[in-house]
Structures are given as structure tokens and as C-alpha cells.
Structure 1
């Protein structure tokens, strides 16, 4: 299955070339997330990521420079956090659920779960956890008001990870495949919102 789109003139994409839309980079990051989640760092190869992404290894080197740099990109939760937290506190619970669903659709997978399912060695897991605490849990705690902000942020992060795990474990024919994002938000967001509000 190709993960890139053809050029604007409608001609087919040539494997190993960089699409003008930037999807080449997106495909590389998706393939790298999958690879670093399923295998220890030492077993992941640039050639394997390139094959999964449908691009040439030289394009990965051009875009990221090295396997270490690519891993650091995969270990970055900042962009997902920007979108997840882009709502005022009174609407954050529902926004979190809808955004999680949208990010899953856009990226072909959950934006946060790699922090849980990584099979890397301890140093890699430590880096992922540290980035997650800083960019997701810590950032959220700083945005919450009222008592126990840190605890509530950890519980919200846990709820989001639980939602992602549930949707992943029950695909492709689970209930979530028959429910809209709005319906998921109807059911799941009230509990998140209570944690946001601190009540």
C-alpha cells in the first residue's frame, strides 16, 4: 500500500522520491514510530524504515540525517500536545477525545501510545517517558488550576492512553469502528472534563 500521493499533475508517485506535499516525511515518521515501538533501537534499520515508508534510504538521511535524529523525532510528543491542548479548560475534555480520534485518523495510529508499548532498552524507554512527562503531563499540569493539578494531569494522561489502547486493541471491527468521534466524545469526555475542572 502506498503512503505517498502522486504529483499535482496526476502522474503516479515514483518510489524513493519526495512528494511535494510533504507526505514523504509523514510516511517516514509513521514507519519509524511503528519500528521503534515494535523493536529495540539496535534492531531498527534505516533500510527497513525506508521500505515500510515506500521511500529510499537516502531520503531518510536527507530529511533526518541519522537513525538517532529520527528516533529523537519519534520521541517528541510536542506537536501532538499542541493540538490536544488547543482548547480552553471548559471545553478541554471533549476537545481531547475529538483530537485523539482525528490524530489517529491522520497519522494512522495513536499519537501517544508509543510511550507504553515501546520495546526498546531502558535508555530509550527512559527518554520516551521523560519526554512524555515534560511535553504532555507536565504541560497539562501547568495549564490546570485548582488543587492537585499534577495528580489530575497524570490521571487525564492515563485516561487518554487508555482510550488509545482500547481503540487499538479492538480494531478493525470493534465498537469504535461503528461509532463516530462525536459519540466517543459523548461517552468519554465527561470523565475527562471532571478531572480538568477538579470537581
Structure 2
């Protein structure tokens, strides 16, 4: 499977474009590629789940490979997650995770953990996650152990996403405001950001 495509354009559109079912297609594709190996995912199945025609997916994305590459791109989520100065980053990370989950109807990062694809697909997802999320965050951190701290922060973000997913729709987290979640969860993240 090739990794060269137009995913830079697709990731920008994935960041918030709502035109003509694009968000629904991306959500359905994320679910499909997370729950099934690449070879078992069909454009028709994604179209059915998204409530659109297969021809619309072809018009918007071209091929299944291009759609997969959109799903495998964490760049837009990282742009949003890291758009705060370091002294405010912990709280911003929590608030942004919750906002992205609400906007896209699912966690923007968890697919890296739960993908059932073949080894090449899982390897691609993890490599993209490392490059676009963990390594990018490590480059922003100051002080010792930046790479380790970035991995721990990424792990805590994945943990937050998993917790909110696991306990929905009736868990306490589902009923807590984003501000309350940030009050409780952000200090641990901020400590890893600030550690020198």
C-alpha cells in the first residue's frame, strides 16, 4: 500500500469542512478502517454508513487508498491540540480533545490503538501518529526527556479518549463539562509539559 497521496489536502478538509457529507464520510471511514482490515473495507460499506452514495466518496476522495490516507493522517488533530503556549498546553489539550470528539463524533486519536488492519496498515498508522503527534510534541517541549514526556502525554491523551469512549453514554465523564474534565485531568498533563 502506497503512502503517497493527496492526504495533506484531505487532512485540512477533515479538520472541519462539513460540505456535502465529508465529515460523515470521514467518520464512517475511521470506524470502518479501525474495525476491519483494509482489504475488507469497501467504499459501498462506508457510503452506507455515512448515508451518502459511493459516487460521492469517489468524487471527494478518489480511491479507497486516498480515503485510508485521510484517516491515517493525524496532522489536523495535532494542529488543534498543540495550538497553545506551553504554560497553557495541558488544559488546552483536554479541552481540545473533548471538542474534537464532539465535532467528529469520535476520538481523533484512538484509531491508532484499535486498528485491526494488517501489519502494514497498523505500522503506517503508528508511524504517522509518532511523526505527527508524539515527535511534533517532543519538538515543542523544553528540558530533559522531551521524547519520553511527549510519549507519556500522548499516552494520557489516548487514555482520556479511551475512558470517555468506554463509559459513554451513561458514565460520569459523559455528563461532566469539558471545563470540569480539564480541571481534573489537565494538571497531570501540564506537569509533564513543565518538567525540566
TM-score for the superposition, normalised by structure 1? 0.89
Q: How many equivalent pairs are there? A: 180
* Partner residue, 1:89: 86
Counting only pairs closer than 5 Å after superposition, residues 28-177 of structure 1 correspond to structure 2 as 28-177=25-174
For residues 11-64 of structure 1, what are the alpha-carbon distances to aligned partners after superposition, in whole Å with 9 as ceiling and x for unaligned? xxxxxxxxx951511110000000000011111000000001111100100111
The higher-RCO structure (CA 8 Å, 6+ apart) is: 2
Aligned partners of 1:102, 1:23: CA distance in 2, in Å? 22
Unaligned runs of 5+ in 1: 1-19
Question: Counting helix residues as a fraction of each chain, which structure ranks higher?
Answer: 2
Aligned partners of 1:21, 1:161: CA distance in 2, in Å? 25
Unaligned runs of 5+ in 2: 1-16
* Partner residue, 1:11: none
Q: 1:120 is paired with a residue of what secondary structure?
A: coil
Larger Rg: 1
Aligned partners of 2:174, 2:167: CA distance in 1, in Å? 9
For residues 88-133 of structure 1, what are the alpha-carbon distances to aligned partners after superposition, in whole Å with 9 as ceiling and x for unaligned? 0000000000000000000000000000000010000000000000
Aligned partners of 1:23, 1:87: CA distance in 2, in Å? 31
Q: Which runs of 4+ in 1 moved over 4 A?
A: none
* Partner residue, 2:188: 191
**What is the aligned-residue RMSD (CA, Å)?**
1.1
TM-score for the superposition, normalised by structure 2? 0.90
For residues 123-168 of structure 1, what are the alpha-carbon distances to aligned partners after superposition, in whole Å with 9 as ceiling and x for unaligned? 0000000000000000000000010000000000000000000000
Aligned partners of 1:119, 1:23: CA distance in 2, in Å? 29
